[in-house]
Chain A
Amino acid sequence: MNAITGAYDWLTTGANWQGEKGVWHRLAEHLYFSGVCLAVACLIALPLALYLGHIGKGGALAVNISNVGRAVPTLALLILLTLTPLGEHGDAPTLIALVLFAVPPLLTNAYLGMREVDRAVVEAARGMGMSGGQLFARVELPLAYPLIMTGIRSAGVQVVATATLAAMAGEGGLGRIITAGFNLQNTPQVVAGAVLVALLALLVEGVLVVAGRLFDPMRRSGGTAH
């Protein structure tokens, strides 16, 4: 396979890692987009979902929003945003699209996590005289934690993947190495870029899995189902 040895050569050529179009710069752009957007999406979705889950309302909203999200093509939304006046503000379309795509998994998982908490446990905690706040912090949140983390992991991977597509709309990120390769008809560069992007996505997934285990509040007491 010529393209594969070619991709290896491309990756091991120092010059491809340096400068404005180099791997390091693209990686930094990618991580900057992804990190900022995941944080913003968490700030929007988690408080809302946890509150709705606590009071037990808005379930239809939380579940349906993720079903709608599945039907909307990422690429289409990204390009639509790029053609609006927002497109003149550089990174804005990418940042907005990334936040929009990260919100549904966060919202749905956090809401369902709160609702799946065993009702008998909640009643027992109420019976012990816990206030709403205590119930939330000491019972519901720790029990909902695995699903909330699943949501953050899904959202994180989603954001990294979407940041790749931003390249097709002309923004930065690692995807640019792939689209530039296509434009130059340079297959080894396309494959090299794809390998980098795939590795990054898997790495992010792995890091989020490990982080989820490390911060699990139930870890010491024998672990959870997840």
Chain B
Amino acid sequence: MAEQNCLVTNDWICGEYLRTRSQELTDATLQHVGITLASVAIGLAVSLPLALLARRWRFLAGPILGVTTVLYSVPSLAMFSLLLPFFGLSVSLVVTGLVLYSLTVLVRNILAGLRAVPEEARDAAKGMGYGPLRLLWEVELPLALPALLAGVRITTVSTVALTTVGAIVDYGGLGTLILDGLDTTFKAQVLTASVLCVLLAVVADLLLLALQRWLTPWTRAHRIRTSRAARKAAVAKVAEPA
């Protein structure tokens, strides 16, 4: 009975809530993870060709970076609302909005990574008879991987946070629980969902860090260089869309 009370007294921390609503929490978390994964994956699939275009034709670099930066300044509530006439109240609306936000950081990082590939490495591969595609896939992309993955980490963490705003169209994962909790002034639900959301961001970041170390073992010898690059990236854009 004592435990039952925390639901009645509306405490911030409530074990009974976790026990009775675990299904609801799991569903919301899975939706959150799904939306984040889809957004980052599509974001990568869109930004890689954009970065390649911007590198191939210099005159395209300005417009591509400019447009993605402008998109980045649009507040998330407005972004999702602007897409409403095109997608209706659907999960693709939320994913599209999040993809548009991911482009700035991803395109910039991929482009910076590709531009930092040493000319000697490129020349050596060409001398060995590599064609443009093989050069890209086997030499340039692996060398650009640290910068690319740094971008993916930033994007993933902010996407986890931004997904919550999708609650406005009912596809916000944990954000939907947070917003419901406001309507019913159900404190345990708001706090639990918020904490889960932050945990999700931290876990995703750590997993990506592990992936980065596993995929790019050679960078550990150059720790100083990569950390400087990461700091530069942090300087370029430290604020997130809200």
Contact partners of A94 in chain B: CB under 8 A: none
15 contacts between A and B (CB under 8 A): A73-B160, A73-B162, A76-B164, A76-B193, A76-B194, A80-B191, A147-B235, A158-B241, A165-B75, A169-B182, A175-B75, A190-B81, A191-B81, A194-B81, A198-B78
How far apart are the CA atoms of A2 and B161 in the complex, in Å?
Answer: 32
How far apart are the CA atoms of A157 and B213 in the complex, in Å?
Answer: 34
Contact partners of A179 in chain B: CB under 8 A: 77, 168
A residues contacting the other copy or chain, number (CB 8 A): 59
User: Are the CB atoms of B231 and A112 closer together than 8 Å?
Assistant: yes
How far apart are the CA atoms of A101 and B161 in the complex, in Å?
Answer: 13
User: Are the CB atoms of B179 and A165 closer together than 8 Å?
Assistant: no
Chain B's closest residue to A79 (CB) is B182
In addition to A71-B202, A179-B168, 10 A-B residue pairs with Cβ atoms within 8 Å of each other are A71-B201, A83-B181, A83-B187, A101-B242, A158-B242, A178-B81, A190-B84, A197-B77, A198-B74, A198-B82
User: Are the CB atoms of B165 and A75 closer together than 8 Å?
Assistant: yes
Interface residues as binary, B77-92 with A (CB distance below 8 Å gives 1, 0 otherwise): 1110110110000000
How far apart are the CA atoms of A194 and B83 in the complex, in Å?
Answer: 10
* Interface of chain B: mostly helix, strand, loop or mixed: helix
Contact partners of B241 in chain A: CB under 8 A: 158, 161
Q: Which residues of A141-179 are within 8 A (CB) of B?
A: 147, 150-151, 154-155, 157-158, 160-162, 164-165, 167-170, 175, 178-179
* Interface of chain A: mostly helix, strand, loop or mixed: helix
The interface of chain A, by Cβ under 8 A from chain B, is: 1-4, 63, 66-67, 69-77, 79-80, 82-83, 101, 104-105, 108-109, 112, 116, 147, 150-151, 154-155, 157-158, 160-162, 164-165, 167-170, 175, 178-179, 181-182, 187, 190-191, 193-195, 197-198, 201-202, 205
Chain A's closest residue to B71 (CB) is A198
User: Are the CB atoms of B178 and A195 closer together than 8 Å?
Assistant: no
Expressed in whole angstroms, the minimum distance between the Cβ of A203 and any Cβ of chain B is: 10
User: Are the CB atoms of B161 and A175 closer together than 8 Å?
Assistant: no
B240 within 8 A of A: yes
